[in-house]
Amino acid sequence: MKKPLGYLLLRDPRVPIRAKLIALGAGAAVVTAIELLQIPFETIAAALLPFVGIPGDLALDGAEAIIGPILVACLLLPRLTPVDLVRRIRAEAECHSPA
């Protein structure tokens, strides 16, 4: 199974930490904006189904707060990392992946 390039870049120590922090920060901002837009819908759902809404909301928001920024960072990192390093990591991944 091939790993997405963004995930490989996120885990690679050669990628500048600044690029990783910018990507993760942008991801956190995107997730926060989405969460702010969802507040009215969550309030209505919690009012209609209070026993189902609150635990489900806590579980999903916790997952969104961790997974969301990582997914956005994986999309942004190939554009924030120097091109020669992206090419090198992509070539290494293709060389090491099973056929």
With cut-offs at 50, 70 and 90, classify the pLDDT of residue 50. Answer: low
Task: Identify the burial level of 64 via C-beta atoms within 10 angstroms of its C-beta, where 0-12 means exposed, 13-18 middle and 19 or more buried.
Answer: middle
Mean per-residue pLDDT for 5-17? 94
Mean per-residue pLDDT for 2-29? 92
Does position 77 have pLDDT exceeding 90, yes or no? yes
Closest CA to 83 of 9, 10, 26, 24: 9
Both tokens assigned to 11: 């885990």
**Which of residues 35 and 78 earns the better pLDDT score?**
78
Does position 3 have pLDDT exceeding 90, yes or no? no
Domain range annotation of the chain: 5-96
**Which of residues 91 and 50 earns the better pLDDT score?**
91
How far apart are the C-alpha atoms of 31 and 72, rounded to whole Å?
9
Q: Element (H or E) spanning 56, and its range?
A: helix 50-80
Share of the chain above pLDDT 70, in %: 71
